[in-house]
Amino acid sequence: MPGFRYQAYSIDGKLHRGVLEADSARQARSTLRDQGLTPHKVEVIAANDPAGGSRLRALSLSSGELTRLTRGLASLIEAGLTVEQAFNALIEQAEGERERQVLAAVRGEVVAGSTIAKALEGFPGVFPELYRTLVAAGEASGQLPRVLAKLADYLEERHAMRARLALALVYPAIVMGVSLLVMGALLVYVVPQVVQVYSHAKEALPLLTRALIALSSFLQLTWPGWIALAVAAGVALKVALGRPAQRARIHRFLLTVPLAGKVLRQLDATRLAATLSILVGSRVPILAALEAGEGVMTLVPLREALASAARGVREGMPLSRALAATAAFPPVMVHLIAGGEATGRLDESLERAARQQQADLSTRLSAAVAIFEPALIVAMGVLVLAIVLAILLPIFNLNQLVGR
């Protein structure tokens, strides 16, 4: 039964919006009239509808909304509710219109006879390939609540990691932005006025002041070009990232950067270990798990290394030996996987590897931020101090001349 998004007016003229289910748009309007509402707009939102489906596929959910939805679905199904009842509860609890529309459309597909994983395929922008693969594995193994709970844990951890990364960059970005604004204001507005004052003085200006005046004049003449150059560089970078060969070269360069390279490598390794842990624990074949794992990795060199490891596993190599042969993944992670293969508890070892990589990553980020923040403050302070001294030194010289 498809879902319909409606707008209807009550007797007092108040506009009501919502979602309901009906066999047709005519039945949906009849249902609204039975509720004392006058239908204004009724649109189908089922994923397989050619008119409404394309608009619905363009919708997206935030990571927080997707995590909350997954956690709620796992809890409801584990409590014994049917899939239809679980989706009904989620639709009633949905906080946003987009979430409500997606849930109603998925529910309509499930009620029509589709599996949950099949219904989710109509919304690739909302539910990524890994999500759909895990749901399909949970349905096939009869452990859908357990798989959804693990998937919700994974989404929460990934969201928390992104939040920590963003938070770690907020303060340095604010310091750098404010410092650049101050230096720009000094160079563009303050220095030209100071130059007018000094132009009447016959004394030679200090070297630092002359350098600052030259820099200010240069920036005044060329600032449109610098803005155009920054825009062109941004466009060129976007175009380069859109081309596989150039994107691979950029990613290889990033991996060579002293600190950033290790952090980026560990980020991908953490994603891979967590993904494989969920997939293997859900009884997904190891080759299919490795193929799905490529989708969660962002760096092209590591994707290529994982594809090479998958070929080795296909030829009969153990996963740990195949990963070690690429020399692209952290040795500790490889050894933990080897231990899991030896004991027959690969999923537990992968989960342990994911936790270890995440802890190591958090330690590295904390150390980097602890060093970077004061270094940035000192560097910006030195630059601002140099500009202020360049402005004040001639004033000190003039005061000395007046004193004589």
Q: CATH number, domain at 214?
A: 1.20.81.30
Q: What is the C-alpha to C-alpha distance for residues 381 and 176, in angstroms, rounded to an integer?
A: 10
Residues 134 and 162 in one domain: no
Residues 26 and 114 in one domain: yes
Which of 97, 123, 142 is a domain's end point? 142
| pLDDT at 387 > cutoff 90 | no
Residues 122 and 191 in one domain: no
Q: What is the C-alpha to C-alpha distance for residues 134 and 140, in angstroms, rounded to an integer?
A: 10
Residues 254 and 124 in one domain: no
Which of 85, 108, 142 is a domain's end point? 142
DSSP-derived secondary structure for 32-75: HHHTT-EEEEEEE--TT-TTHHHHHHT----HHHHHHHHHHHHH
Residues 119 and 181 in one domain: no
Residues 201 and 124 in one domain: no
For the chain, what is the mean pLDDT?
80
Residues 251 and 275 in one domain: yes
pLDDT digits (tens, 9 = 90+) for 303-319: 899 999 999 999 888 99
- Number of domains, the chain: 2
The residue range of the domain holding 272 is 143-404
Q: How far is CA 70 from CA 348, 356, 386, in A?
A: 22, 25, 55
- Residue 311 CA, chain-centre distance (Å), reads 29
Residues 249 and 211 in one domain: yes
pLDDT digits (tens, 9 = 90+) for 254-292: 888 887 888 888 888 888 888 888 888 777 788 888 887
pLDDT digits (tens, 9 = 90+) for 104-146: 878 878 877 788 888 888 787 778 877 887 788 778 777 788 8
Which of 142, 170, 205 is a domain's end point? 142
| Nearest alpha-carbon partner for 123 in 45, 68, 17 | 45
pLDDT-derived band at 48, boundaries 50, 70, 90: very low
- Helix spans in 257-299 (H): 258-281, 286-294
Residues 213 and 343 in one domain: yes
Phi/psi class of residue 263: alpha, beta or left (left: φ > 0; alpha: ψ in -120 to 50)? Answer: alpha
Residues 117 and 151 in one domain: no
pLDDT at 272: 86
Residues 86 and 138 in one domain: yes
pLDDT at 311: 92
Give, in degrees to the nearest 5, the angle at Cα 343 between 338 and 349.
55
Residues 79 and 204 in one domain: no
